[in-house]
Structure 1
Amino acid sequence: MNAVRSPMAEALARRMLPSAIFVASAGVRSGERDPFVDAVLAEDELSLGERQPRTMDELEDDYFDLIVTLAPEAHHAALELTRSLAVEVEYWPMPDPTDAGGTREHIMAAYRDVRERLKARIARRFPASEARSALD
């Protein structure tokens, strides 16, 4: 629903990758902005600003060299969307932190875990020569 993992990945990629690389995130369905995403991004001095969840139909551009999916439903939708296009599609399975229960701190820990997994995956996927040294 473009409310948790994907916007988090977008914000991290915008920081870590050169500004010449176009980064956008979208979901299969509409969703609502998640306040826990704002909280864990703020811990890294990042913000979604006024950005709201959006669907793939709402993207400004429909040409991509690479589509990264973070959930099974999104991966299947991306494969279907790109069936006749020359686009690389990668699946980076990420846990859904909205499944976390318990105290606020338990929930925040689940969101932090996803944030850190995304940072590591972005850093591994893109060579150090392409990435900014924003992880430190």
Structure 2
Amino acid sequence: MTDPRRVLFVCARNDVRSPMAEALLRHADPEDFSAFSAGLEASEIDPRTVQALEHINVDAGGLRSKSLEDFEGQAFDYVITLCDKSSEEAARMPFSGEVIVWSFEDPTTSEKHDPFRHTLQEIGDRIKMFVTVKTRAVSQ
């Protein structure tokens, strides 16, 4: 058995999208991936993030806001940015095998109905695709 691949999700404040992605990947495939999240700066986890995760029975325990500096010197197989601001800072993340740029609307400023659940669904769909592609690539 190989060690799980390390994945770091990065967003501007590590308060909504990146902790959602961390919890979703941990839930989806804890055997193949170790998930982490960080912000360009640390903040506080938005309580609506935890509510949205708990609504779909995904464990939000242990989620806390962290900054990129908390992971300085650590190696990651994948660094996935989740907002435009963090993708612009991707050059600050040299500790990665592969940088992947995703962009999701910030639910805190969204006009959509039930924006946190909407964003959670979008990130969840993308993570399912990521897991499928990256686990298939290893097994072939």
Shift of 1:129: 8.8
Structure 1 SS opposite 2:18:
helix
Runs of at least 5 residues in structure 2 that lack an aligned partner in the other structure: 1-12
TM-score by length of 2: 0.78
Give the Cα separation in 2 of the matches to 1:120 and 1:80: 27
TM-align CA RMSD = 2.3
1:69 to 58, 67, 81: 81
1:93 pairs with 2:103: yes
Give the Cα separation in 2 of the matches to 1:23 and 1:61: 17
Runs ≥4 residues deviating over 6 A: none
Shift of 1:17: 1.4
* Identical positions, percent: 29
**How many residues get paired?**
124
Shift of 1:112: 0.7
> 1:16 corresponds to which letter in structure 2?
A
**Counterpart residue number, 1:114:** 119
- Normalized per residue, the structure richer in strand is 2
Structure 2 SS opposite 1:75:
helix
**Counterpart residue number, 1:79:** 91
Call closer, same or farther: CA 1:61–1:10 in 2, change over 3 Å: farther
Shift of 1:128: 7.2
Runs of at least 5 residues in structure 1 that lack an aligned partner in the other structure: 132-136
